[in-house]
């Protein structure tokens, strides 16, 4: 059995290191000793990625027990369910980002959406925090925060408010929003960096801003399982500690760079497409137009 580890598709689209896919060959038809079969059923299995730190390293802000349950049981269960549900379907073999967007189905989600999205969300969440995190961001991230929220503290206030007012289960996000119309021929006549903003939003249950074509930068899990063991019902304390002691602003900055690059690339694509469209119009033959005839006589005579 061959094992390959491949990065998943959509380089600039992914805002986090992609989950590793291990390919398992099944039902291989071998011909003439060739390793690559003519038709093989490839079952791509998404793996449960461990957080980039040990489970006890976030103490005392997030206990080892929480991580054991949250990562070890909740996140793992979603990965298992997702693998079960995509096996043998079209979604098998797609990258996780794509699975999430496709299964969201523009607001009419397939049953596997919750699992796909929760796997994505939790991967993103573990990457967003680190031992010894917190502090303040710097560089372009700080500039954009100050531009779009007024000040870093105001952004934190808004983020906390989103996290606290998310009723029921869900997530609060800081996203980079490249404002574009979701129409095929949408053209922004004067595209500029200023159209793209940082925004705080909240989403229920498993929903995730990539389905709205935003670029998430930071997420906090406000499902109760994320904080109940450590903070009981005190969500406000959890959110404050998360922001003061756990957030990895370096990762957020990196994601911002990726997001800006992605937005710029799409703006360039739009621009080339627009120019091509314009060229197509001017070079095409004159459109036949039906004009009124000079006489007023009816043709039915």
Beta-strand (E) ranges in the chain? Answer: 5-6, 21-26, 41-46, 170-178, 196-204, 215-221
Indicate whether 73 belongs to the interface with other proteins (CB under 8 A): yes
Give the nearest distance from C-beta 131 to other proteins in angstroms: 23
- Count interface residues toward other proteins (CB under 8 A): 19
Spell out the residues 6+ positions from residue 1 whose beta carbon is closer than 8 angstroms to its own: 24, 25
Q: Which of 224, 250, 254, 270 binds other proteins (CB under 8 A)?
A: 224
Nearer to other proteins, 166 or 215 (CB): 166
Q: Which two tokens stand for residue 202?
A: 């909240």
Indicate whether 225 belongs to the interface with other proteins (CB under 8 A): yes
Per-residue DSSP letter, 88: T
What count of residues does the chain have? Answer: 301
SS3 199: strand
Give the nearest distance from C-beta 110 to other proteins in angstroms: 13
Give the nearest distance from C-beta 217 to other proteins in angstroms: 24
Nearer to other proteins, 23 or 69 (CB): 69
Indicate whether 110 belongs to the interface with other proteins (CB under 8 A): no
**Gap between the Cα atoms of 130 and 90, Å rounded:** 36
Give the nearest distance from C-beta 192 to other proteins in angstroms: 38
Write the DSSP assignment of 264-292 as a string of letters. HHHHHHHHHHHHHHHHHHHHSPPPP----
Nearer to other proteins, 130 or 235 (CB): 235
**Gap between the Cα atoms of 108 and 121, Å rounded:** 19
Indicate whether 81 belongs to the interface with other proteins (CB under 8 A): no
**Gap between the Cα atoms of 202 and 175, Å rounded:** 10
Q: Which of 16, 58, 114, 172 binds other proteins (CB under 8 A)?
A: 114
Residue with tokens 């007024």: 150
241-280 footprint of other proteins as x/- string (CB under 8 A): ----------------------------------------
Q: Which of 47, 143, 193, 232 binds other proteins (CB under 8 A)?
A: 232
Closest CA to 239 of 256, 249, 227: 227
Indicate whether 69 belongs to the interface with other proteins (CB under 8 A): yes
**Gap between the Cα atoms of 207 and 204, Å rounded:** 6
Give the nearest distance from C-beta 168 to other proteins in angstroms: 4
Q: Which of 8, 162, 199, 206 binds other proteins (CB under 8 A)?
A: 206
**Gap between the Cα atoms of 209 and 89, Å rounded:** 24
Beta-strand (E) ranges in 98-234? Answer: 170-178, 196-204, 215-221
Region from 34-42, 152-160, 161-169, 292-300 binding other proteins, contact rule CB under 8 A:
161-169
**Gap between the Cα atoms of 14 and 21, Å rounded:** 15
Q: Which of 32, 168, 184, 189 binds other proteins (CB under 8 A)?
A: 168
Nearer to other proteins, 176 or 223 (CB): 223
Q: Which residues lie near other proteins (CB under 8 A)?
A: 69, 73-74, 77, 114, 167-170, 204-206, 223-225, 228-229, 232-233
């Amino acid at each position: 059995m061959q094992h390959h580890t491949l990065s998943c598709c959509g380089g600039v689209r992914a805002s986090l290191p992609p989950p590793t896919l291990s390919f398992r060959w099944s039902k291989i038809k071998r011909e003439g000793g060739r390793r690559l079969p003519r038709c093989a059923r490839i079952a791509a299995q998404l793996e449960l990625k461990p957080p980039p730190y040990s489970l006890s390293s976030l103490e005392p802000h997030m206990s080892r027990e929480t991580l054991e349950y949250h990562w070890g049981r909740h996140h793992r269960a979603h990965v298992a369910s997702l693998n079960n549900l995509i096996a043998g379907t079209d979604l098998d073999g797609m990258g996780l980002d794509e699975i999430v967007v496709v299964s969201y189905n523009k607001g009419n989600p397939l049953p596997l959406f919750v699992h796909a999205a929760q796997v994505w969300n939790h991967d993103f969440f573990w990457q967003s925090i680190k031992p010894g995190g917190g502090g303040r961001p710097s560089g372009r991230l700080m500039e954009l925060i100050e531009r779009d929220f007024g000040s870093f503290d105001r952004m934190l206030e808004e983020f906390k408010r989103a996290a606290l007012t998310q009723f029921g289960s869900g997530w609060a996000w800081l996203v980079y929003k490249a404002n574009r119309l979701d129409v095929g021929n949408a053209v922004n006549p004067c595209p500029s960096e200023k159209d793209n903003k940082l925004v705080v939003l909240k989403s229920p249950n498993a929903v995730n801003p990539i389905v709205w074509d935003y670029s998430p930068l930071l997420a906090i899990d406000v499902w109760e399982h994320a904080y109940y063991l450590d903070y009981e019902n005190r969500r406000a304390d959890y959110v404050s500690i998360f922001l003061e002691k756990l957030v990895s602003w370096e990762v957020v900055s990196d994601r911002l760079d990726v997001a800006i690059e992605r937005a710029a690339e799409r703006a360039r694509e739009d621009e080339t497409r627009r120019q091509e469209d314009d060229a197509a119009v001017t070079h095409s033959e004159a459109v036949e137009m039906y004009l009124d005839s000079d006489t007023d006589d009816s043709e039915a005579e």
